[in-house]
Structure 1
Amino acid sequence: MTPQIRPLSANLQRIAIEELNEVPERLDADIETLRTWLKQQPHLRARIDDQFLVAFLRGCKFSLEKAKSKLDKFYTLRTRYPDFYTIRDVDSQRLHELLRLGVGLRLPRPLHDDGPRIIYVRPGSYAADKYTFEEIMGVSHALSALSLQHDDYAVIYGCLLILDFSGYTAAHLLQFTPSIVKKMSVFAEEAMPIRDKGRHMINTNAVFERGFNLMHSLLPAKEQSRISVHGSNLESLYKHIPQKYLPTHLGGEQGTIEELKQQTWDIFTEQREYLRAEANYGVDETLRPAGQSCDYESIFGVDGSFRKLDFD
């Protein structure tokens, strides 16, 4: 039986086989094995369509046990902390305001036209006295989850982040607590089957530097090694990401901020019903088999903020 998934380009299929251990002749059986396991989990209400499940298999290099673990944590974290990992109300006017801010923007062309998806993030682009970082992350995580269903470049090659700290202030940093750093890190490493292909920080300032020095130490060594700080030196960035793959205002050919914002809004509009249906999925901890729970409260903690930093 042929899996109900998008056909890949010849190069994407080659990468899936060579780097992700995909065996096309076995794909339907692998998906069915994972689906059968999900149906046997009393506490899990998960999507079980072929396209969704193959994203987890590919992102876990076809390790069934790793895919099971990520699926469980994906839904556990989204259920336990819905405001941080999901969109609760797709019709909310406040949500629409957040989307139109364009804090995180997916660039239309992947790196080298056939590589990792590039995400351009602007952490200083929202009013910190009007919106919380948790709200920003809720939108970000929900849009990222769409990649599992709709973006083969992200699933097979991973995502490359450019974080532009223009306009970043002490007020933004004070929202970025150590607990939030852990929530972002744990979800990225343990729940999302999309590989982190690097994070490039540009237009950094003194506020960023002070927060980064503390935040960096909270990250696992693997994540630390993926971060590059370029300051305002775009020539340094171009060595990693050729100029034409950047947004227009950074000298590239990937569109203006307004054009990218509109593309994000269009994606949301097209996928509104998909996002609305996400409320149907999650975990019921009262039905979880004994001995399988994880104490995320102790992992994330309630451990203060960066308020003690001197921003003068």
Structure 2
Amino acid sequence: MTSIRHLCPSLEIKAQKELNEVPSRVSSDIQALRDWLKKQPHLKSVNPSNQWLIGFLRGNKFSLERSKGKLEMYYTLRTVLPEIYQNRDPFDSKIQDILQMGHYLPLKITETDDACRVCVARFNDTATKHHILDVIKVCFMINEIMLLEDDNYTIAGINTLVDLEGAGINLFIQWTPAIAKKVLTSVEKAYPLRLKGCHILRTPPGFETAYSIVKSFLSEKFKQRFFVYTKMNESVYNAFSRKVLPQEYGGENATSIQELIDHWKAKVESYREWFLLEDEQRSDETSRLGEPKTSSSLFGVEGSFRKLEVDIIYYYLYFLNSQIEIRIKMPQMEIRPLLPILKEKARKEINEEPDRIVPDISAIREWLEKQPHLKSVNPSDQWIVSFLRGNKYSLERTKSKLDMYYTLRTLLPEIFCNRNPFDPIVQGILKLGIFLPLTTLEREDSRRVTLNRLNAVESSNNRLIDVFKVVFMIIEILILEDDKFVIAGEDLVVDLDGVGIRTFSQFTPTVAKQTAAISEKALPVRLKSSHLLHTSTAFESVYSMFRMLISEKWKKRFNVYSRNLEAMYDVIPRTILPKEYGGMCGTIEELTDYWKIKVESYSEWFFREEMVRSDEALRPAQAKTTSDLFGVEGSFRKLDVD
């Protein structure tokens, strides 16, 4: 493979053992990423080197899908975070000044040929001469050089020593929740960084305040790699070999801090042409297939953090004066702002009153805290407000659906457990593109159209119950992300072309009742219409059974077509449909790729949610069982056979 450095023998072995690198597959893996990039209309300016791409592959253990996810996030952040990723000329006077201060210094030598790279981050009070984001910008510039040049960094990983000696209030005041979230999203979700450890040294009074903000945005895996020391001690030297540390840190390396500063200043300057060329390599959000990404959609509303930012200053000063322990509670109110047209629809159709949202969310939280069987449940504000909206702000109906949702997560493990997006079964279903919410709307307040291609199930070996698992995974993402889906509702298109006995025979009364209960009684889904396409004779039996299990309100929203789709176009315009359905907006393949990456990006969320469910042993009333909710399965056996 051209343009890729050869590895030393020990690093080559480590890459194969720890990162799943197969030398004979490197070329085809890189080509697969290039082919994928070419299909992304919003990434048409992106044409990275082979060395850059293999850095992402190694940082993601050669998972093509995770590599795509991080590449997509990296180039997206280059657009939505210009304060970090643009104007990166090394000879800019501000950047020159920051380089001369030596805030971020990767050390030159490693303990062994295949050891991780040690970096020293020196965030003393001189870091406040410039805005913290300018300092972070330079740190990221150096990281990108390492990604291009340093095989120890990309394969063995990075072990960072963060020195806070002399850091004070001026530094911590700048480290707001909004900035922390942006920086940590870049580190964890955009860069192919193999963080082996982050050791924070010589922490000053009040450090815990800023540290609690950092930890709130980290995954559990990253949290376990952070260590805090008040001073240099033997524990530090257990993590870092004295052989590689400079003498200023009690090490034996003859290279001084000043020599490291001079080295990295010259190195960054030598990359001037690369940084200038890279300035235009970023996502074009106007060409994205789905909704354009913005700083608000990725990081929430910065205004929701303002009170906490004031509190940080107040509590820090209070701490310095009184020397008592403080704890800061993160704000609970983290909800996306609505477009004006959606805000009006929410007011008219679902009784949303902006000044009631906070007390209504608080009321739901207080109710949850009083439910002993829901002690593991602590949903986000966005999740709660979606349930409120889906129930037109009826607190009682919202409580009922939340209780049912977390109960079904216990009683229906075949649907709600083992939801790892990278599980081979889930991957296979995602690649088929069976359930695809369309990414385009007719208007800003239109309903979200979802396409359920059950015909893709017939030709596969997947169980229908596993398909429903993936469908509900995508619906949960919509509940978290899509205000149009939650407020305006859903128009469901079900394609039954070619669906026969293999699929219909799996849609037993038991499965039908379970999925109907999830859709109608557990999730806050506002189904406005359902359009069944390409129906067959065999379909009628299954459809009549399903209608017995849904409410009259839902029955009225089902529309059946045989082959003539013109009537459907009166409800769902061609302009938003994919070409395969007579539409004018993209293809099924593009939608499949989009939703596969989207579901994979939620792997941490699904992992955390695995244990969030009801504990029926602690329910105050009688414990719920599948028999209570769905009847005795034996009573369905004759109908199953029929």
TM range (shorter): over 0.9
**Secondary structure in 1 matching 2:561:** strand
| Structure 1: 5+ residue stretches without partners | none
Q: Larger Rg: 1 or 2? A: 2
Count of residue pairs brought into register by the alignment: 308
| 1:17 equivalent in alignment to 2:347 | yes
Distance, in Å, in 1 between the alignment partners of 2:640 and 2:621 is 40
1:11 aligned partner, one-letter code: I
Residue 366 of structure 2: which of 24, 32, 36 is its match?
A: 36
Distance, in Å, in 2 between the alignment partners of 1:108 and 1:167 is 25
Distance apart, 1:129 and its partner CA: 6.7
Name the residue aligned to 1:200: 531
Cα 1:215–1:69 change in 2 (3 A) is closer
Name the residue aligned to 1:188: 519
Distance, in Å, in 1 between the alignment partners of 2:347 and 2:616 is 37
Pick which of 100-109 and 121-130 moved more. 121-130
**Secondary structure in 2 matching 1:283:** coil
Residue 488 of structure 2: which of 120, 145, 157 is its match?
A: 157
Distance apart, 1:9 and its partner CA: 0.2
Distance, in Å, in 1 between the alignment partners of 2:543 and 2:379 is 39
Name the residue aligned to 1:26: 356
Distance apart, 1:204 and its partner CA: 1.2
| Structure 2: 5+ residue stretches without partners | 1-302, 305-332
Name the residue aligned to 1:170: 501
Name the residue aligned to 1:289: 620
> Does the 8 Å CA contact 1:122/1:164 hold for their aligned counterparts?
yes
Distance apart, 1:163 and its partner CA: 0.3
Name the residue aligned to 2:44: none
Name the residue aligned to 1:280: 611
Q: Deviations over 1:65-104 (max 9, x none)?
A: 1111110101100111022245433331121111111111
Cα 1:19–1:87 change in 2 (3 A) is farther
RMSD after superposition: 2.0
Distance apart, 1:113 and its partner CA: 4.4
| 1:64 equivalent in alignment to 2:395 | yes
Name the residue aligned to 1:221: 552
> Does the 8 Å CA contact 1:244/1:251 hold for their aligned counterparts?
no
Distance apart, 1:50 and its partner CA: 1.1
| 1:91 equivalent in alignment to 2:409 | no
Cα 1:298–1:65 change in 2 (3 A) is closer
Distance, in Å, in 2 between the alignment partners of 1:22 and 1:163 is 31
Cα 1:170–1:135 change in 2 (3 A) is same
Name the residue aligned to 1:256: 587
Distance, in Å, in 1 between the alignment partners of 2:521 and 2:452 is 22
Residue 140 of structure 1: which of 465, 471, 474 is its match?
A: 471
Within 5 A, what are the aligned runs for 1:231-250?
231-250=562-581
Q: Deviations over 1:137-178 (max 9, x none)?
A: 111111111112111111111111000111201111100011
**Secondary structure in 1 matching 2:372:** coil
**Secondary structure in 1 matching 2:572:** coil
Name the residue aligned to 2:407: 76
Segments of 4+ in structure 1 off by > 4 A? 305-309
Distance, in Å, in 2 between the alignment partners of 1:100 and 1:133 is 15
> Does the 8 Å CA contact 2:335/2:382 hold for their aligned counterparts?
yes
Distance, in Å, in 2 between the alignment partners of 1:25 and 1:307 is 51
**Secondary structure in 2 matching 1:304:** helix
Distance, in Å, in 2 between the alignment partners of 1:192 and 1:97 is 25
Distance apart, 1:216 and its partner CA: 2.6
Distance, in Å, in 2 between the alignment partners of 1:145 and 1:249 is 26
Cα 1:307–1:124 change in 2 (3 A) is farther
1:185 aligned partner, one-letter code: A
Identity within the alignment, %: 33
The one of the two structures with greater contact order (alpha-carbon pairs below 8 A, sep at least 6) is 1
